[in-house]
Structure 1
Amino acid sequence: MAEYELIGEERTVLGSSATRRLRKTGKVPAILFGGEAEPIPFVLNQNEVKKHLENEAFASHILRVKVGDHNSQAVLKAVQRDPITSDVTHMDLQRVSASKEITMSVPLHFVNEDECPGARAGGIITHLLVEAEIRCLPRHLPEYLEVDMVSLELGETIHLSELSLPEGVNLTALMHGDDEDQTHDSALVSVQMPREEVEESDKDDVEGAELDDEVTKLVESGGEDSE
């Protein structure tokens, strides 16, 4: 598993004006919080942050954060971006403890789509979720969860409860309610017939039913309408 390290400088001047000046010089304001220590406001290099964020795994890793004399392990909790330039405008990082569980959202990787029987039969694959929220100890945090589509047939759907989870990992959605409660068992991916084919099939069924009705009426009337 790759390791990521963030090295920042502690902020001594706070406020919106100071924050704007930092951003103009290519810095990203950030906050390190959580645990028993006090929150630490600090700044990071914009280019280094962007480079890290290009890797999907960065958002679901335990990060090493160094700010002055402070060394912490943390996870990325939030990223704010400029809607026009896409520059990172702020980052929230939460400290983690090796002995305490954390709640994180991790990406879903859909595998064996080319082997999916439903898709080979002409079905359309629809991804309904792209990430799932999990709870685990930091050492068990996975980069992603796999959704195996090798046996997904036409008209079928894969749900959260069907995922194979790594050791020590739980899905937060399934930690609610009892085994009979299906409201939290979200659908992840499905394979369905194209809409055009479904509509054409329905049309054929209706026309066939109407023809059957006409034949039935003729039989019951003894064929009088045909004379």
Structure 2
Amino acid sequence: MAQTYELVASLRDRVGKGSARTLRREGKTPAVVYGDKQPPLSIAVDTKETFLKLHAGGFLTHVATLKVDGQEIKVLPRDYQLDPVTDTLVHVDFIRVSDTTKLTVNVPVHIVGQDKSPGIRRGGALTIAAHEVALQVSANAIPEFLTVDVGGLDIGDAVHISAVALPEGAKLVDHDDFAVATVAGSAASASEEAAEAAAEAPKA
């Protein structure tokens, strides 16, 4: 399961560009909490703290607890905007969640076992077809990442998504049983295999 964290936030009584600029000068970022059939809630979060969470990785898959004027709201960041020039955080959208909330999230793929792959050790090249996979999963069961082990792959072999362990109850979204990672032969290894095949062929 992915990590969780807390963010202290404050209610915003004004919205608009002028108010947003004032917040940013104060080191805060405007944000909105929506979902769960409740009215949107305009808040402000600490820019530095939120920016650090953003660059720590997994920002859009880590459930957070917002502490807003004595109230605790469990949320998941759904989107954020960065200034195209300064790369500073300018807005965040959060969605309310509970332990039973089903969400569609993009989960990173971690490749392991490259050093054990007979195909890679023979000069084959590892091709990764998906660096993240869309899953429908409960908010309390979002995985930090999906592990794909290529340690048993020889040249020409692949690991399909059906062989990758998913959290209980999780479902793939808009995916067939595609190959997540493949070991393809390099030109050198292909020449070597051709030479071996020629040597082993029966002579006339």
Kept in 2: contact 1:135–1:170 (CA 8 A): yes
Aligned residue number for residue 105 of structure 1: 106
The verdict on how the C-alpha distance between 1:117 and 1:82 changes in structure 2, with shifts beyond 3 A counting, is: farther
Write the distance in 2 (CA, Å) between the matches of 1:46 and 1:116: 44
Runs of 4+ in 1 over 4 A off after TM superposition: none
Report the equivalent of 2:178.
186
Distance 1:116 1:100, change over 3 A: same
How far apart in 1 are the matches of 2:154 and 2:123?
A: 11
Residue 143 of structure 1 and its aligned partner are, at CA, apart by: 1.3
Residues 57-66 or 142-151, more deviating: 57-66
Q: Which amino acid aligns with 1:113?
A: Q
| Residues matched between the structures, number | 193
Cα contact 2:28–2:46 (8 A) shared by 1: yes
TM-score for both structures, normalised by structure 2: 0.83
Q: CA deviation at 1:19?
A: 1.6
SS in 1 for 2:174: helix
Q: Normalization by structure 1: what TM-score?
A: 0.76
| 1:50-199 → structure 2 map (5 Å cutoff) | 50-174=51-175, 184-194=176-186, 196-197=187-188
Structure number with the higher helix fraction is: 1
Unaligned runs of 5+ in 1: 175-183, 206-227
- The one-letter code sitting in structure 1 at the alignment partner of 2:51 is K
Which secondary structure state, in structure 1, belongs to the residue aligned with residue 51 of structure 2?
helix
Q: Tell me by how many angstroms 1:156 deviates.
A: 2.3
Q: 1:22, 1:28 within 8 Å by CA — same for their partners in 2?
A: yes
Instruction: Identify unmatched segments of 5+ residues in structure 2.
Output: 196-204
